[in-house]
Structure 1
Amino acid sequence: MLSAVQWLDMGNRSDEVTESRDTEDLLEETDQLLSGTGLEAGTDESLASADEPADSRADTPVDARSDEPADASRLAGLRSWLSVDSYFSPKAFLAFVLLVSTGLLAGGMMIPIAGRIVGIFGVAFLIGLLTAKRRYLEMTAAGTAVGAVSAVASNAFLAAAGSFQTVVAVGVAVGLVASLVGYYFGRDLRTGLTRDIE
């Protein structure tokens, strides 16, 4: 049973008026807080934006509502477009040099004739098959560098005798062709395997 005090207390609570808030008002205030445009003390802009209907603010472009000027975002986009990493990744190049060199040495030890070419081709094929991003420039540079160094190292006597340019040219050509063809076929197989069946 309820006592008289509890009964009166319940009666007083029922007389209290609770303020109900519309969902749109709550979303509008949340949007103002997150965008940093509203509820800043003492600014006329915040008062004007709080009184503004939500539809008019939604039509305002993001650049006009943010504190950061549009030129800064354009400069950031231009800077990323001009960065060296977007065209040539030094880390990927060094990794490819190590992998192609390993393939060249392994192929030369396992297959006596044309083993180095097969090794370069095989490693380039696997890299093309396993990597998601296209890295033709890095693979080309790695293949030519490894091919040139390998040709000079294995034909040091001919290079010293005066045929240095010929030895380097043959090494560059072999490394370039083997790495690019292997990488291309690896990428082509990857595209075929990952493409959705229609």
Structure 2
Amino acid sequence: MAERSDQRTRERSSVDSEDLEELLDSGLDDGAGVASSRDEPTREDGAGSSSGLRDRLRSIVGRSVSRPLGSVRSRLGHLFSVRTFGTALVASIVAAIGFGFVIPFVDTLGALAGIFAVGLGFGLVGERRQYLEIGLAGAATAALGALTEFLVVALAGRGDLVVLFGVGSGLLAALIGHYVGRDLRDGLTRDV
């Protein structure tokens, strides 16, 4: 009886590692009928099994982590383009400054017109929808413009509302411009 209780204690302490190894074996198994570790005689030295277990665990963890990250990267590649965002941001800043000089008295409306024009241009030229990139670029440009125009108010601690208004108006101008540009492109390229 004493031998049986020792065996039960040893089984309970090694259940976690055996279950993990069995899980790893079943995860790597192609269905060819690999015997589980409970069917194999247990080794007392354990030197060879720990490195094999570690390698299998790394393999399974590596595959389970790389699959979701790979799909997230591919989805993000389709949803958001850093290159398009950077180009739209630079173009929005340049257009906002340029249109602000053209319309001298109401430079805020000139900046929004510049952001709208960039959204319109990207909608006319782009083959795919780029609402996220254009919207973020317009929002960032308008927030930067609002912050620089009302710098004293921002430094006084009341700039959050000004920046929020800038973000909203820039986002709206860019999205409407992109929508109008895509609609115009669709109307120009459609067969009558």
Normalised by the length of structure 2, the TM-score is: 0.60
Q: Is the 8 A contact 2:111 2:142 kept in 1?
A: no
* Bigger Rg over Cα: 1
Equivalents in 2 of 1:85, 1:146: separation in Å?
23
Equivalents in 1 of 2:156, 2:102: separation in Å?
30
Residue 98 of structure 2 is aligned to residue 106 of structure 1: yes
Q: Deviations over 1:113-153 (max 9, x none)?
A: 22111111112111111111111111111111111111101
- Structure 2: segments with no counterpart, 5+ residues: 1-65
Of 141, 150, 154 in structure 1, the residue corresponding to residue 149 of structure 2 is: 154
Equivalents in 2 of 1:81, 1:190: separation in Å?
31
Give how far 1:95 is off: 0.6
Root-mean-square deviation (CA), in Å? 2.2
Q: Deviations over 1:95-121 (max 9, x none)?
A: 110011111011100012221111111
Residue 139 of structure 2 is aligned to residue 144 of structure 1: yes
Correspondence list, 1:109-120, <5 A: 109-112=101-104, 113=106, 114-120=109-115
- Say if 1:159 and 1:81 are closer, same or farther in 2 by CA, change over 3 A: closer
- Say if 1:81 and 1:163 are closer, same or farther in 2 by CA, change over 3 A: closer
Q: Is the 8 A contact 2:120 2:179 kept in 1?
A: yes
Residue 160 of structure 2 is aligned to residue 165 of structure 1: yes
Structure 2 residue identity aligned to 1:178: A
- Say if 1:126 and 1:155 are closer, same or farther in 2 by CA, change over 3 A: same
Q: Percent identity of the aligned residues?
A: 39
Q: How many aligned residue pairs are there?
A: 124
Residue 185 of structure 2 is aligned to residue 190 of structure 1: yes
More helix by share: 2
- Structure 1: segments with no counterpart, 5+ residues: 1-74
